[in-house]
Amino acid sequence: MLHRILVVHGPNLNMLGLREPEIYGSLTLDELNRSLETLARSLNMALTTFQANGEGELVTRIQQARSDGTTWLVINAGAYTHTSVAIRDALAAIDRPFIEVHLSNVHAREPFRHHSYLSDLARGVIAGLGAMSYEAALHFIARQPTDLEAVA
- Whichever of 46 and 79 has its CB closer to ligand DQA, that residue is 79
Total binding residues toward ligand DQA, as defined by CB under 6 A:
10
Cβ 146 vs Cβ 97: under 8 Å: no
Closer residue to ligand DQA (CB): 104 or 146: 104
User: Of the residues 3, 9, 80, 102, which is catalytic?
Assistant: 102
Pairwise CA distance, residues 125 & 61, whole Å: 21
Cβ distance 73 to 96 under 8 Å?
yes
User: If binding is defined by CB under 6 A, does position 78 make contact with ligand DQA?
Assistant: yes
| Cα three-residue angle 107-118-39, rounded to 5 degrees | 80
- In the DSSP assignment, the letter for residue 89 is H
Q: Binding of ligand DQA at residue 103 (CB under 6 A)?
A: yes
The footprint of ligand DQA (CB under 6 A) covers: 12, 76, 78-79, 81, 102-104, 106, 113
